[in-house]
Chains A and B, each alone.
Chain A
Amino acid sequence: MPVSERHSKLVYDALVAAGVEVVSALPETWLVHLIRLAEDDPAMILVRLAKEEEGVGVSAGAHLAGRKSAMLMQNHGLLQSVNGIVSLAQLYKIPLLMLVSDRGHLGEPDPWQTAGGRATRPILDALGIVTDELRDPGTVQLQVARGMTLAQASLAPVALLLTRDLMWEALA
């Protein structure tokens, strides 16, 4: 599978380094290694969801109970979670570190991902969510750390887009 194991590990290690103890996730191709890493880590509380919006609730509960969390989802999961993001995380000032696979952007071969790809950034922007792109493996750890710092300081959602450049291993 051409999803990068190495870069998934970088992202996972960055989450751990940022103090994440709870990860909620709904699988998609780009996230398989990340979710496996969470699954294999006995110190991580992994919550596999039926639908991404539940993750907003899980993260809110974790935050109020004193644990840092992260959500792993596809951008369509972000679209699916919008009400929870607005009327729980934003309304109640809950920090949310959202790692969102950036499907449907440049290089996307799957037609069904493309409508969501076009909508992702405008919707994050409309929600006023600070967003950054994880692209360069050399800066992943710093960006994740800074994303967590901002989420915790602003008590607000922060989105880190997992780009194709980072998540997809170049074919030899």
Chain B
Amino acid sequence: MERIRCLEAIYDELAGCAVVTIMGAVAVELYSLGHRPNFFYLEHAMGLASSMGLGIALSQPQRKVVVLDGDGSVLMNLGGLTTLARYAPGNLTHIVFDNQSLLSVGGFPTATATGSDLAGIARAAGIAKAATVTDLASFRASAVAAIDADELACLVAKVEPVGPKSFHMDLHLLENRFEFQRFLRPDPQGAPS
């Protein structure tokens, strides 16, 4: 399963959600499918995408929040899974693309290549709805269901260690940041759209 096919499969579901991605291939591939103001690409601070998603989800409980994470980043903030589990915002979906490697920095294997099971860790951290998927149809079905459901979910998608040819994005990170903040501004009429 390729990550970009996964992103394509849920691209329409992401409309209206606050989407936070990690840096590298996840950001570039989502961007390449067509940037939207509700996409925030965290271009550094590895590990903190899920913490940002938690901050957004708790601050705007009516807003669907989707974090597009990776195995290397999650491994840098395993404790964050326990924090997600503790507050378990129903509007948050944590998707982890696990390619078992640090792809954009030489492809060195992460601990998931030698058996560490991120869905198992998430479940043991207290996220009841945590699962691993390995094919595109299951990914799409599980991801769409998780985003629609009012329950915190962690979905680990096993993907090939392949990424984009170029990591260039024609969007400065500050432009992205202010655009995303503007998108998240509560609708003066009431609930966020």
Contacts and interface: CB of A to CB of B under 8 A. Distances in A.
Interface in A50-92: 50-51, 53-67, 69, 83-84, 87-88, 91-92
A22 B60 CA distance: 12
Interface stretch (A7-15, A41-49, A117-125): A41-49
A69 B12 CA distance: 32
A93 interface: yes
Q: Which size class do A's interface residues fall under?
A: 20 to 34
B79 A56 contact: no
Interface in B64-101: 77, 79-80, 82-83, 86-87
A8 to B, nearest CB: 23
A65 B59 contact: yes
B79 A65 contact: no
Interface of A: 21-22, 45, 47-51, 53-67, 69, 83-84, 87-88, 91-93
Q: Top 6 nearest A-B pairs by Cβ distance? A: A61-B55, A57-B51, A50-B79, A57-B48, A65-B59, A87-B44
Given A48-B86, A64-B177, A92-B174, 13 more contacts: A53-B51, A53-B77, A54-B77, A57-B80, A58-B52, A58-B54, A61-B51, A65-B60, A65-B184, A66-B186, A91-B44, A91-B45, A93-B174
